[in-house]
Amino acid sequence: MDSILVVEDEKIILELIAEILETRGYKVQAFLNADTAWESIRGRDYPPRLLITDLRMPGEIDGAELVKLVHEIQPQTPILVASGYHSHSGLLNDPNVSWLPKPFDIEKLQTICQKLAPLP
């Protein structure tokens, strides 16, 4: 469990989240789509420290599918969905998924990350 993985198709938002988390001491890996994030996740022998993902993005899989796939192989991975689209599938009722509605406050992002992936 080393890196926080951030998956966001809006490059500016992706870079902002990564920068915020890195300045707080986290190691971050950033992905512009769920397809490349999934390739990285399934190629690991260990779960990410935290997965932060948007829901709607281009590619073969979207953020909701990524959440389901990660839960199947690494159910212990904490997941934060940062999205403005909340009526998607059954994820709203999933107790293993935390939500951060867009637009979000930087302090709220930091608070949730510290709760889900506390720094030593």
Reported as a single tens digit per residue, the pLDDT across 15-59 is 999 999 999 999 999 999 999 999 999 988 888 999 999 998 899
Please report the pLDDT score of residue 89 as a whole number. Answer: 57
Residues 59-81 have pLDDT tens digits of 999 998 999 999 999 988 999 99
Cα 67–chain centre separation: 9
Please report the pLDDT score of residue 91 as a whole number. Answer: 62
Please report the pLDDT score of residue 24 as a whole number. Answer: 94
Please report the pLDDT score of residue 11 as a whole number. Answer: 97
Residues 84-112 have pLDDT tens digits of 776 555 666 677 888 888 888 999 999 99
* Owning domain of residue 85: 3-116
Please report the pLDDT score of residue 120 as a whole number. Answer: 81
CATH code of the domain covering residue 39: 3.40.50.2300
Tally of domains in the chain: 1
The per-residue b/e assignment along 83-118, b for 16 or more CB within 10 angstroms, e otherwise, is beeeeeeebeeeeebbebeeebeeeebeebbeebbe
Dist. CA 104–CA 111, nearest whole Å: 12
